[in-house]
Structure 1
Amino acid sequence: MPTSTARSTQFLLERFTPKQILSIGAANRRINLWEGAVSSGKTVASLWAWLMFVEQAPTSGELVMVGKTRETIYRNALQLLMNPERFGEMAAQTDYTPGAPTARIFGRLVHIIGANDIKAENKIRGMTCAGAYVDEATLLPEPFWDMLLTRMRVQGARIFATTNPDSPTHWLKAKFIDDPVQRASMKVFPFTIDDNAAFLDDEYIAHIKASNVGLFYKRFVLGQWVAAQGAIYDMFDSTTQVVDILPQIRQWISVGIDYGATNPTHAVLIGMGEDRRLYVASEYRYAKSSGSLSLTQAEASRRIVQWLDDVPHHGRVRPSYVVVDPSAASFVSQLRTDGLNPTAADNTVIDGIRLVSNLLANKQLLIHSSCRELLKELNSYTWDPKAALDGQDAPLKQNDHGVDALRYALKTTRLLWKNQIRRAA
């Protein structure tokens, strides 16, 4: 054990669940993978196993910690390792400055490597590794993972990895977890959120369960590898979530704009009601019809400004944020010229879809009946079946301009409204 055996054992018994302790003791294969729900205890268990390994790791090879970026490795792993409340005396054994390319663990040099695209494999090409810790393995490019395996050339080399479940056709699931040959050199430890119930507040568990629906509930709460298929917003109920009369709006949060030069331009206006729910109060849409002309950027911008100058039943509205498709840089400049103060949208698609799904499921987001085009899209927005076959989660790129604008408006401004919104039932 990294400290005295007695003190380490006592610490584990006090701070870890039996399932975590069993996984730590059994992590003795070439690949050791903790997979499952969020907040299920898999990361803390994997990090303790990694510490045990680093203290006694072969000295003839390099040690690496890998994630999508250095920032995510610091946030998800290194901060925990240096936290005395989580790791007791062991926290003093990790030394790292945020953003640095290396850390020290038990005095050993550990390379901190971000692998956010296919070119990242070059960062480890030529290395001889004795051990690796991988944060959120499904987010890494497959070629990087394959290259990492070839780098584990020292006798006794080990990989310690974590992940949330993804599509069952994702390369990590299909080519490693489910492959008998690869599985022979792996230990896989599945976790659900209820496995960590002894160390989580009941209210927090209830919140996590209420904050994930459909696909995301199955993956992030139950820890299941399930495909994204069918309707994306199947939790949307037009009989209860479409309103003809809006409450008093206490704050105009944002306008989300999906600009199209040849495709439709769609904008949605979001307000926070006195009942502390979010409302799509109005929409603007221009779609080129047969025989009509495409709008110039100047004309499209002018029309959006005119719409905000006279929103039906509300008059002139200037929300806290005007959020625009980040690919439309020149349109952002045009809006600024016309007196608005736009910002580029957060376009993390799956996280944005998850956020909108949760708001709809918990009746925290309602839509005014005048937003007819958005309502059509909410009912027809689907996952791309071809992407699912490749192990990817992606919406079908059709009839999506309004739902994209909605996602931009909500995801980008979450910090503004998250503490105001009413709690889920």
Structure 2
Amino acid sequence: MLAPAVELPLSRKQLCSVARATARINIWHGSVRSGKTVASLLAFLLAIAEAPPSGLIIICGRSLLTIERNVLEPLSDPALFGPVAGQVRHTRGATTAVILGRTVHLIGAADSRAEGRLRGLTAYLAYVDEATLIPEAFWTQLLARLSVPGARVLATTNPDGPRHWLRTGYLDRAAELDLHAWHFALHDNPSLSPAYVRSLHAEYTGLWRRRMIDGAWVVAEGAVYDCWDEQQHVVDELPTITRYWLGIDYGTTNPLAAVLLGLGVDGRLYVCAEWRYDSRARRRQMTDAQYSAALRGWLTGLGVDPEWTFVDPSATSFTAQLWEDGHPGVARAKNDVVDGIRSTSTALAPAFLRVHRSCEGLLAELPGYSWDPVAAAAGEDRPIKRDDHSCDALRYVVHSTLPEWHHLVPDLIPEEVSAHATA
């Protein structure tokens, strides 16, 4: 059998973590791209090579897709693991893989019901990708299944809030448990180029900069978009817009907000226009058909036919009305709130996303859009649900179009951000 080895240079911390990953629970945590995954995967390969024939070997993650992307694809990369990569075999979509001649079972853990998939198993070795994203009940059941003598779990994760169960129940109790943990920062990965490090510093801001760049387990607090600066982000004139998308937050007693997002010839995103209807202020509610007709008239007046219309996914009847009335590209918006906020922060941080001064509702909401301190105290990241209708519409359209614009952001890193990243 070929000895597992990586082709990239390894830091002293990476090598140390591989050598000491002998506890029952082994956790690599810290910033993105800090080298923790490569180190943990190398430790996993060594553990497979040494595993006794009894006891299952499993890989767990939020879904089969994330397991394939975050674990199996790197293991299969000769640039990372040299000739050993040829001993990783997997058919996409299958729930098993063969690694170093051993069958490895792949288990997705999207919700608390997933822990049932572990019942009855007797495992020797488990690898957990992004441990903070799996349910605590699944993690607890997984540890109970590791009952073969010498059994262990290897897990990686980016930080979450300081009251996350993995932090309070395990990392903070390392001295009491059979647990080894290593905290990684960007400088612990010797293979990163300075240009890539600058890109990461430009992409993350506020809460995510502290978690993803500094690797800190910190609470969400203060303004959601703490990089917001009216001097930088608000414009009086728009460039020629080459593409348009529409985001809609639906409301009956609450306002309905529609935000028109455009891609300018300068390669930046612009909130070009906004339409709002507040039934409480107007003292008159509108039907779905009336909303649809009003939006169509507004877009016609602007001379715009957006490629896609991303709608609040809870607004089933309104979405059906838009389809019936022939609005372009009607689709359910991606509604993961925290991921959507992160995408919007990515666009705002380098002033890649700008807002036209006519968007009064959005401009009024953005400065006051804040994290909920009560939720933060309970270890959750959740914004306050108040005066957020245009912010939600913005989040829908920005996050849903992420693949269309994300590749443009690194080209717009401000000089001051680059200088900070290099220092």
TM-score (norm 1): 0.93
Look up the match of 1:191: 184
What is the CA-CA distance between 1:274 and the residue it aligns to? 3.0
CA root-mean-square deviation = 1.7
Q: Identity of paired residues, percent?
A: 45
Structure 2, gaps ≥5 residues long: 415-423
The question of whether the paired residues in 2 share the 8 Å contact of 1:252 and 1:318 is answered with no
Please state if 1:278 is matched with 2:275.
no
Q: What letter corresponds to residue 205 of structure 1 in structure 2? A: V
The question of whether the paired residues in 2 share the 8 Å contact of 1:12 and 1:21 is answered with no
CA separation in 2, counterparts of 1:270 and 1:21?
Answer: 47
Look up the match of 1:156: 150
Look up the match of 1:344: 332
What is the CA-CA distance between 1:277 and the residue it aligns to? 1.8
CA separation in 1, counterparts of 2:207 and 2:144?
Answer: 34
Q: Deviations over 1:177-212 (max 9, x none)?
A: 012555x3111111111211x211111111011111
Look up the match of 2:373: 385
Q: 2:393 aligns with which of 405, 409, 415?
A: 405
Q: 2:39 aligns with which of 45, 54, 59?
A: 45
**After the TM superposition, which of the residue ranges 411-420 and 53-62 deviates more from structure 2?**
411-420
Please state if 1:321 is matched with 2:308.
yes
**After the TM superposition, which of the residue ranges 291-300 and 208-217 deviates more from structure 2?**
291-300
Change (3 A) 1:376 1:76: same
Q: 2:413 aligns with which of 397, 400, 424?
A: 424
Q: Deviations over 1:310-340 (max 9, x none)?
A: 13xxxx1112221111222221221122221
Q: 2:355 aligns with which of 367, 375, 378?
A: 367
CA separation in 2, counterparts of 1:104 and 1:13?
Answer: 21
Equivalence map 1:180-219=2 (5 Å): 180=174, 182=176, 184-196=177-189, 198-219=190-211
**After the TM superposition, which of the residue ranges 85-94 and 272-281 deviates more from structure 2?**
272-281
Q: 1:94 aligns with which of 88, 98, 108?
A: 88
Look up the match of 1:240: 232
Q: Helix, strand or coil: the match of 2:298?
A: helix
Q: Helix, strand or coil: the match of 2:348?
A: helix
CA separation in 1, counterparts of 2:266 and 2:95?
Answer: 48
CA separation in 1, counterparts of 2:261 and 2:358?
Answer: 13
Q: What letter corresponds to residue 399 of structure 2 in structure 1? A: K
What is the CA-CA distance between 1:12 and the residue it aligns to? 4.8
Q: What letter corresponds to residue 39 of structure 1 in structure 2? A: R
CA separation in 2, counterparts of 1:146 and 1:254?
Answer: 44
What is the CA-CA distance between 1:291 and the residue it aligns to? 7.3
Q: Helix, strand or coil: the match of 2:412?
A: coil
CA separation in 2, counterparts of 1:84 and 1:180?
Answer: 35
Q: Deviations over 1:12-52 (max 9, x none)?
A: 58532222111100101001101011111111110110111
Structure 1, gaps ≥5 residues long: none
CA separation in 2, counterparts of 1:222 and 1:291?
Answer: 47
CA separation in 2, counterparts of 1:129 and 1:14?
Answer: 31
What is the CA-CA distance between 1:303 and the residue it aligns to? 0.8
CA separation in 2, counterparts of 1:208 and 1:290?
Answer: 43
Look up the match of 1:335: 322
